[in-house]
Chain A
Amino acid sequence: MDQELSALTVIFTEFYYWVTVVMMFLIHVGFCLYEVGVSREKNKLNTLMKNSMLIPVITLGFFLFGWWIYFAFQNGPGVTGALKSASWSEPWNPLMGPHLGGSGNNAAGLSQDELDLWPRLNGVFWAAFLLFSWTAGSILSGAVIERIRSGAFWLLSLVVGCVTWVLGASWGWSDAGWMVRVLGYHDAYASGVIHALAGGSALAILIHLGPRLGRFRADGTPRVLPAHNTWMIIIGMFLIFTGFWGFYAACNIPIADIDPDDTTQLFSATTIYLTPTTLSAITFNFLMALAAGMMTGYLVSHGDAFWTFQGGLGGIITASAGNDLYHPYQAFFVAAFGVWCAYKLHFWVEKKFRIDDAVGAVAIHGYCGSIGVLLVGFLLWGYPSSPDDTFAPITPWGQLAGAVMMFLLLGFVPCYIMTAALRRAGVLRIPREVEFAGLDYQLVAWEQEQRQEFSMAERQEFQTGVKEHS
Chain B
Amino acid sequence: MTPTVESWHNTPTELGPLYPLVGYEFVMFIACAAALLGFLVWKFRSENAHYCQMVAELTAPSPITTATSNSAPTGSPSHQDSQDAHS
Contacts and interface: CB of A to CB of B under 8 A. Distances in A.
**Are A and B genuine complex partners?**
yes
Interface of A: 57, 60-61, 63-64, 91-94, 96-107, 115, 149-152, 154-155, 158, 208-211, 423, 426-435, 437, 441-442
A107 B12 contact: no
B82 A94 contact: no
A57 B59 contact: no
Contacts of A434: 51, 54-55, 58
A215 B65 CA distance: 29
B76 A432 contact: yes
A424 to B, nearest CB: 9
A426 B17 contact: no
A222 to B, nearest CB: 15
24 contacts: A57-B39, A92-B29, A97-B18, A97-B25, A100-B12, A101-B16, A102-B13, A102-B15, A105-B4, A105-B16, A107-B22, A149-B51, A151-B40, A158-B40, A210-B83, A210-B85, A210-B87, A429-B82, A431-B54, A432-B77, A432-B85, A434-B55, A437-B58, A441-B58
B82 A155 contact: no
B74 to A, nearest CB: 13
Nearest to B35: A60
Nearest to A437: B58
Contact of A94 (B17, B44, B77): B17
B28 to A, nearest CB: 8
Interface of B: 4, 10-19, 22-23, 25-26, 28-29, 32-33, 35-36, 39-40, 43-44, 47-48, 51, 54-55, 58-59, 76-77, 79-80, 82-83, 85-87
A437 to B, nearest CB: 6
B17 A151 contact: no
A100 B83 contact: no
Contacts of B55: 431, 433-434
Contacts of A105: 4, 16-17, 22
A97 B19 contact: yes
Most chain B CB atoms below 10 A, which of A60, A93, A151: A151
Contact of B43 (A97, A99, A102, A151): A151
B60 to A, nearest CB: 11
Contacts of B85: 210, 432
Contacts of B29: 64, 91-92
A200 to B, nearest CB: 20
A102 B12 contact: yes
Contacts of A64: 29, 32-33, 36
A96 B55 CA distance: 45
B16 A102 contact: yes
Contacts of A91: 25, 29, 32
A149 B83 CA distance: 12
Contact of A104 (B16, B44, B80): B16
Given A64-B36, A92-B25, A105-B4, A433 B14 contact: no
